[in-house]
Amino acid sequence: MRYYEVETMASEGQNLAFAKAFSGSYGIFYNEKDSNVVLNQTDNEQLGLVIVNIESKREWELTTESQVINGLLCYRANSFNTVDNGKRIFKHQVIAWYCPSLPFSYGPMEYGGLPGLILSLQVRNVIFGATKIDLDPTYDLKITKPVKGKFMTLAEFEKKLGEAGPPMR
């Protein structure tokens, strides 16, 4: 599965770099089939090229609520992100709309594990959505696992970012 941002966001008066940083959608995400591991290859200003190993074990509540997205019947699933900032613990709802007729358990970034492809995902105030679905069985897409960059866990990456401080301009 290939996911990428729609560049028209910048033309809508929004700062695309800020939106990408807020959503955490920098770089290339690689979801390994039948695995809870997601690799995020990103070229970070302070750390250089890194590959962040993200363990993605998410509990989903499946609902019967449905909607049609791009002509495909989708169902709602709910989850939560828990954030501990050292002073308080916050829970933010995550809403995914997945399509069982597309039996791929993938989604944007590290979100997946549902009984169908995620076509729309809301994480806090950010919505990721499918704008085009091309099911061309003759297209031979080669997806390669990222190998260039320094490997680190998500916790190591976040710690290094905290140590590096704000980017130098």
* CA angle, residues 25, 160, 166, in degrees to nearest 5: 70
* Residue bearing tokens 């710690």: 159
* Structural domain includes residue 169: no
Rounded CA-CA distance 142/156 in Å is 30
pTM: 0.71
* Structural domain includes residue 72: yes
**Tally of domains in the chain:** 1
Rg (CA), the chain: 17
* Structural domain includes residue 66: yes
Give me the tens of pLDDT residue by residue for the chain, a chain 169 residues long: 555 555 544 445 555 554 444 445 567 777 766 667 777 778 877 788 887 777 777 899 999 999 999 899 999 999 998 887 778 898 999 999 999 999 888 888 888 889 999 999 998 888 888 887 777 778 777 777 778 888 888 888 878 877 765 544 3
If one counts every other C-beta atom within 10 angstroms of the C-beta of residue 101, the result is 9
Which DSSP symbol is given to 8? G
Domain span at 87: 7-164
* Structural domain includes residue 124: yes
